[in-house]
Amino acid sequence: MSTLDRLKDAVGARGFTQDPAQIAPHLEEWRSKYRGTTPLLLKPATTAEVSAILSICHQTRTPIVTQGGNTGLVGGQIPLHGEVLLSTSRLSKVRALDASGMTLTAEAGVTLAGVRQAAAEKDLLFPLSLASEGSCTIGGNIATNAGGTHVLRYGMTRALVLGLEVVQANGVVLDMLRALHKDNTGYDIKQLFIGSEGTLGVITAATLRLFPMPDAAVVGLVAMPSPDAAVTLLGRMQAATGGMLSAFELMPRLALELVTRHIAGTRDPLAEPAPWYVLMEATGGRDTGLAASFETALGAAIEDGIAGNAVVATSQAQAAELWKLRESISEAQKREGASIKHDISVPVAAIPAFLKKAVPAVQAIVPGARPVSFGHLGDGNLHFNFNAPRAGDDPAFLAQWDEVQLCVHDLVKEFAGSISAEHGIGAMKVSSLPRYKSHAELDAMRALKAAFDPAGILNPGKTVPPVVRL
């Protein structure tokens, strides 16, 4: 029996397809930068089926790529070299929810929106929030250590995971689904799989931390004269709210213009344009005086000339309208045309200086490139993006991606930052790692890969670079 036939038998008739039409949506990522091929799409419904699949692949040295909601932006989820593709879409159960312990156990294929909804039904909050939450999966979020808009308050995905169930490359199941907030019994092995992008094992389920659902939220959009002023405002608002800021998002004027141009139902809520904007949110208890503290601090910042005009939402509907402006930027950029994108982080205080140096550096390579630098100022993560100078320039513009990326990443290193803040390494950045990580770090990564996947079948060529001494 062939390997493909053995894999089909492992999942049964409903658990696989070789129909090109059904497979096609899994072979191209959202930006159409990466396209792959596969002889077989597997859709296991249980951890036991995942175990059987990996056991066969390990025995036969068959490469395999795991895919969640296919929302990744660095090609990590695409079978670029004809690997077998494993979709977690049928691992879709919420197994348990402990309201008193504030934990939830979900299988890897549950969407992020599904996890958040299950928590909300018990008046609890799972704080990870992404624009793609309706389609991205919790397994993919964990495998990429997703960030999102609320890292400032709640941390990256890594901080939200209490336990994991993982199938190793040889098919052995690691049951680490513990709902413990404290566990010092040896190495915290689950952490190795968080952010490993499917190169060390396949995550099949997770136990997640939940939080009390805030009953008060204050959302404001503020016109800003500069990123320097935004950093100053961040410190003031953190102090005034007692650290209750859950989001602090920076946006340039061009981002707002693209959104209002391309996204239906959006408008500029302020009468006068500004070069920059901050969208900020604070959440807490209704009786904490949070709204008063927020508005008093914001008013003082305006009086002191740190901030310009502002609008504070007076209803949930208005808050949703303000958030839509931020969450629609990526879609608006896509509709505007080609864009070269970077997911970088630098120390918060260094963001203004980085922007002052990096924007003209890119425009020296691509004259007229339009900067759309936006993102999570509160934790130092910027989506440092550029749109083509003019419509129709797309092919020539995209041909300069590698040169622009090298320039940006070198500057990120100069500012003691990271070339991947929350999107992962995948295929896009794996060849760049030797330039920005030490030999010792890379050797440690390779040692872990060899220990957990000695046959090299899991997502080969992604995340962990081969040995290359520069």
Is the pLDDT confidence value at 432 over 80? yes
Is the pLDDT confidence value at 400 over 80? yes
Considering only CA atoms, which of 53, 12, 90 is closest in space to residue 173? 53
Is the pLDDT confidence value at 110 over 80? yes
pLDDT value at residue 31: 81
Give the pair of three-digit tokens for residue 133. 């939450």
pLDDT value at residue 345: 97
Q: What is the Cα–Cα distance from 231 to 394, expressed in whole angstroms?
A: 34
Name residue, tokens 């036969």.
60
Q: What is the pLDDT of residues 438-448, one digit of tens each?
A: 999 999 999 99
Q: What is the Cα–Cα distance from 434 to 437, expressed in whole angstroms?
A: 5
Q: What is the pLDDT of residues 206-255, one digit of tens each?
A: 999 999 999 999 999 999 999 999 999 999 999 999 999 999 999 999 99
Is the pLDDT confidence value at 469 over 60? no
Position with higher pLDDT, 394 vs 100: 100
- pTM for the structure as a whole: 0.94
pLDDT value at residue 213: 95
pLDDT value at residue 398: 93
Q: What is the pLDDT of residues 164-220, one digit of tens each?
A: 999 999 999 999 999 999 999 999 999 999 999 999 999 999 999 999 999 999 999
Q: What is the mean pLDDT of residues 276-282?
A: 97
Q: What is the Cα–Cα distance from 54 to 198, expressed in whole angstroms?
A: 12
Q: Mean pLDDT score of the chain, rounded to an integer? A: 96
pLDDT value at residue 397: 94
Map out the domains of the chain with their CATH numbers. Answer: 3-87 (3.30.43.10), 94-212 (3.30.465.10), 216-330 (3.30.70.2190), 337-414 (3.30.70.2740)
pLDDT value at residue 470: 45
Residue 142's pLDDT band (cuts 50, 70, 90): very high
Q: What is the mean pLDDT of residues 306-319?
A: 96
Phi, psi values for residue 30, rounded to 5°: -55, -35
Residue 330's pLDDT band (cuts 50, 70, 90): very high
pLDDT value at residue 468: 52
Q: What is the mean pLDDT of residues 20-32?
A: 93
Percent of the chain past pLDDT 90, that is, above it, reads 94
Position with higher pLDDT, 48 vs 390: 48
